[in-house]
Amino acid sequence: MAALLKSLVEASEKSARIAQLCRQEEALFQLLIEEKTGSDKNKKFIQDFKTLADVLIQEVIKHDVGKEFPDLHGHISGEESNKFENSLGETLVVQVCATQQDTAALLYKILDRNQPAAELLAAAIHQEVTLEDPALEALVLPIPAERVAIWIDPIDSTNQYIRGQANVVPIDGICPSGLCSALVLIGVYERSSGDPILGVINEPFFQEDPFTHRWLGRYHWGVSYQGTRLSSLSQPPLRPDPSVVLSSSEKPEIQRALRPLYGERLHFASGAGYKMLCVILGLADAYVLSEGSTFKWDSCAPHAILRALGGGMVNLGAALQAWRTGQRGHLPELTYNQPVGGAVGAERWANQGGLVAFAHREHLELVMATLAAAP
């Protein structure tokens, strides 16, 4: 069912436009930041921000895709809750209304009666986005909507989205930080097995037009389902001198353990989705993360694309255990349908045990052998 893929790509394009608009309109952007509290707070940041753009984008995807595929109703989830508190202390439920006028009226209340901002956003939410992508038109994919569910990260790397610089100079193609690491991630998994089967990654801040200063985005997709593997990208080549991308907060002992394999070719970057994208694009051969600081909505879309390219994403803790006991044939990949037992809030959907993202099985084996041999 290529219609589902097309619908998700279109939803990601609309999302990217909303993300660009909120970042471009300074007055709008200032209105949009709200601190996360309680169990929804990502424990990694002292202060973690959720933006109204985040919530809006998630609701737009739910609305647009849910309208086209009623079987997906109740099976589209994301990082954000759609309750939003404005500076007057009113709690409002963010949703896409039947008409642009109604959405503008709701946003007017959420945005503390800022009419221009409400109208700008409502227009972006209700715009028609239709793609002219011959590669998508030509596809036939037998994916039944009633057997799948969706994880959305409306804007991954929220911190960089809020504070990131526009023109960070990349090191070996990888930006250590910056707006370019803010991504829209939409991943589809099979409800019964939890396997990731379809992914869309949209880069709203791929390039800035030097003349108009407008942002140009781009998107990537991949499908891996019942023997069908298709992607807008090709598998990157295996390199003789491999490199790895890590979180800047990765443990020193893991960095030391990886030195024998990578030497100086250790890169650091913000954004879990962005680091996975670096592997997808062949800018790094692996993303190794030793902690459970990513979530199902971070990894589902990139994981599906990696599988479409012949790679994958394993649970690092479980894979190391299997490796050490000699069970090396089938290292355990991440799945998306089971919450962490006993956890609450966002932690229910954490990728506990960390992860390794890879584009070549041969390279995953090198990572496993290197980490298993570390003192």
Whether 357 and 306 have beta carbons less than 8 Å apart is answered as yes
Quote the least distance from Cβ 107 to ligand 2IP, whole Å. Answer: 22
The string over 365-375, giving b where at least 16 C-beta atoms fall within 10 Å of a residue's C-beta and e elsewhere, is ebbbebbeeee
- Which residue in 15, 293, 299, 315 binds ligand 2IP (CB under 6 A)? 293
Whether 205 and 184 have beta carbons less than 8 Å apart is answered as no
241 classed as catalytic:
no
For residue 295, state whether it binds ligand 2IP (rule: CB under 6 A). Answer: yes
54 classed as catalytic:
yes
User: CA 288, CA 285: separation in Å to the nearest integer?
Assistant: 10
**Tokens representing residue 171 in the block:** 């090191």
Q: Are strands 355-358 and 312-315 parallel, antiparallel or unpaired?
A: antiparallel
For residue 53, state whether it binds ligand 2IP (rule: CB under 6 A). Answer: no
209 is in an annotated binding site: no
**Tokens representing residue 177 in the block:** 């930080």
- Which residue in 10, 13, 156, 190 binds ligand 2IP (CB under 6 A)? 156
Instruction: Name which of 108 and 268 has its Cβ closer to ligand 2IP.
Output: 268
Instruction: Name which of 176 and 242 has its Cβ closer to ligand 2IP.
Output: 176
150 classed as catalytic:
no
User: CA 6, CA 90: separation in Å to the nearest integer?
Assistant: 37
Question: Looking at beta carbons, which residue is closest to Ca ion?
Answer: 156
User: CA 60, CA 308: separation in Å to the nearest integer?
Assistant: 27
Catalytic hit among 54, 190, 291, 333: 54
Provide the 3-class DSSP secondary structure of residue 2: helix
User: CA 225, CA 238: separation in Å to the nearest integer?
Assistant: 24
Instruction: Name which of 64 and 298 has its Cβ closer to Ca ion.
Output: 298
User: CA 3, CA 145: separation in Å to the nearest integer?
Assistant: 10
The string over 111-124, giving b where at least 16 C-beta atoms fall within 10 Å of a residue's C-beta and e elsewhere, is beebeebbbbbbeb
For residue 153, state whether it binds Ca ion (rule: CB under 5 A). Answer: yes
End-to-end CA distance of the chain: 49
153 classed as catalytic:
yes
112 classed as catalytic:
no
Quote the least distance from Cβ 270 to ligand 2IP, whole Å. Answer: 4
Quote the least distance from Cβ 309 to ligand 2IP, whole Å. Answer: 21
Q: What are phi and psi of 191, to 5 degrees?
A: -60, -40
Q: Which stretch binds Ca ion (CB under 5 A): 112-120, 151-159, 165-173, 299-307?
A: 151-159
Q: Please give the size of the binding site for ligand 2IP, defined by CB under 6 A.
A: 18
79 is in an annotated binding site: yes
Quote the least distance from Cβ 38 to ligand 2IP, whole Å. Answer: 15
79 classed as catalytic:
yes
User: CA 272, CA 261: separation in Å to the nearest integer?
Assistant: 22
* Binder of residue 42, out of ligand 2IP, Ca ion, none (CB less than 5 to 8 A by kind): ligand 2IP
Instruction: Name which of 79 and 195 has its Cβ closer to ligand 2IP.
Output: 79
Binding region for Ca ion (CB under 5 A): 153, 156, 298
Active-site amino acid positions: 54, 79, 153, 155-156, 158, 298
Binding region for ligand 2IP (CB under 6 A): 42, 44, 79, 153, 156-159, 247, 249, 270-273, 293-295, 298
